[in-house]
Chain A
Amino acid sequence: AQRVTQPEKLLSVFKGAPVELKCNYSYSGSPELFWYVQYSRQRLQLLLRHISRESIKGFTADLNKGETSFHLKKPFAQEEDSAMYYCDQGGADGLTFGKGTHLIIQP
């Protein structure tokens, strides 16, 4: 079965510090990887996808097939980045979400 691993349940960093949310996937084919974000009291929404290779709200994520990783990074955290982040592997079986990482940005 496909599996997505987000090893950190909770990550707390200070404002202005770099952020890295880890994600490892298991799909052996060509995965489609996404990061979703859920801000407090808002719906889960797409943050970015690896195909587009874009930067959203200062976040980037690079697919590393050798390490089967898709870590989410931001060089300087902002308080509004506090949220739940889910890594998702969309393969032949559909969506496979990680367990999520709660990111807290301290002032």
Chain B
Amino acid sequence: EAGVTQFPSHSVIEKGQTVTLRCDPISGHDNLYWYRRVMGKEIKFLLHFVKESKQDESGMPNNRFLAERTGGTYSTLKVQPAELEDSGVYFCASSFSRTGKVTFGSGTRLTVV
């Protein structure tokens, strides 16, 4: 089975620009999560979708971040406008409620300069 796919794998943008990260979960997984690791700190939870609905977005840092999950399939995470402190690695993960096994993607390394 294909894993969780994220792209781009790397993105370098200037402060003030907009960036959109994409995540394709494992087919059939109803749960989709976004996490972020900044500058050697812990990986922090951002939000959780169940199908197309946001179940928990308590980890979203501010209103510059917008996540969507179209039709309960792939998800996008848009940062607008990007700030320096947004630099880090953004991980996506998915799981199927009945099994509970969480699979992570390879991450997108975002650098804001």
Decide whether A and B assemble into one complex.
no
Taking Cβ atoms with an 8 Å cutoff, the residues of B that contact A are none
